[in-house]
Amino acid sequence: MSRARQPSAIDDLLAEHAGLQQRMSDPALHDDAAAARKVAKRFSRISPIISVHERLEAARTDLAAARELAAEDPAFSREAEELAERVESLDATLTDMLAPRDEHDAEDIVMEVKSGAGGEESALFAADLVRMYLRYAEREGWKAEVLGASESDLGGFKEVSVSIKSRGDGPDGVWSRLKFEGGVHRVQRVPVTESQGRVHTSAAGVLVFPEPEELEEVRIDDDDIRVDVYRSSGKGGQGVNTTDSAVRITHLPSGTVVTCQNERSQLQNKTRAMQVLAARLQAAAEEAAEAEVAEERHNQVRTVDRSERIRTYNFPENRITDHRIGFKAHNLDAVLDGDLGPVLDALVRADRDARMQAE
């Protein structure tokens, strides 16, 4: 977005912000708890943008005054230069904040990691990916929770689902960063089961879904689901129950299956599993709609086709390669320890640039 296009966008947000303030002061709004939460969340998302705009306008006013003083007294020249730098910085920040955004960017996510071709080695790699995401979430101050897992014989994961939530409001949430992780992740290394030291290639799949705030946002008919209860087991998370409290929900029309075993009771596991199911059904519906216009979106970084190989983790060379944007770095050990920032930053920039060019 060019600087020239800022005024119209910010004017619209200023009007919306004022309208939201007025609605929040209306007692009638709070009679509907769900509506009140939506209004409050939208208000909290755009408030940081309004704050930057107000600081920018104040800095511009101060800069104009400083330049007038500097014209009469050179002693004010340094102050004018500093204010000019501040205006430029705030202007760039506001431009970035006003860039076209993914409507789900502020949302939390549900992530599923599944082993693929490669047997036991693939399951071990899936466990490495889960550990990487959990450590990255810890660095970001997010709350991560393993909802359910199916272990392999050597301690890897055949399948695992994780909920990751941010701890605050704002325009950028967990989805804004980790939405790029959906796809096939390939690993090249010597498996622990390899006796001759040969490098093998295997893969694991990652699915990422924005998680609806309210279950009511996605309608699921009770007649469309089958609920099975079984005994929890394995490393599903700290405090996993070992009674018959684990829940498996099958959505019959789509064949989607969701399991949850990390909560303390069967009711809690069912509630959480329904939330995950809602997230998956919502994502599937949106992807179906996106597929209809996929021909017009070739430049988008995140493809609708989740089967695309997106990244390679090469252990012999300590190298990570993201094939979508040509990103390469030789710090694979650090990345697997949760240092995902640089590659995600590059993906965010590429996505933002693609959105701005599409406008």
pLDDT surpasses 80 at 7 = no
Q: Exposure of 26 by Cβ count < 10 A (0-12 exposed, 13-18 middle, 19+ buried)?
A: exposed
pLDDT surpasses 90 at 305 = no
Q: What is the mean pLDDT of the chain?
A: 83
Question: Any idea which residue has 């509907």 for tokens?
Answer: 32
- Going by C-beta distance under 8 Å and a sequence separation of 6 or more, which residues neighbour residue 78? none
Q: What is the DSSP string of 62-125?
A: HHHHHHHHHHH-GGGHHHHHHHHHHHHHHHHHHHHHTS---TTTT--EEEEEEE-TTHHHHHHH
In whole angstroms, give the CA distance from residue 127 to residue 135: 12
| β-strands 183-189, 309-314 pairing | parallel
pLDDT computed for residue 124 by the predictor: 94
Q: What are 56-98's pLDDT values in tens digits?
A: 999 999 999 999 999 999 888 999 999 999 999 999 889 888 8
Q: What is the DSSP string of 249-314?
A: EEETTTTEEEEE--SSSHHHHHHHHHHHHHHHHHHHHHHHHHHTTGGG-TT-SS-S-TTSEEEEEE
Q: Answer whether 167's CB lies under 8 Å from 79's CB.
A: no
Residue 281: pLDDT band with limits 50, 70, 90: confident
Q: What's phi and psi for 176, nearest 5 deg?
A: -60, -25
Q: What's phi and psi for 262, nearest 5 deg?
A: -90, -20
In whole angstroms, give the CA distance from residue 143 to residue 77: 48
Residue 190: pLDDT band with limits 50, 70, 90: very high
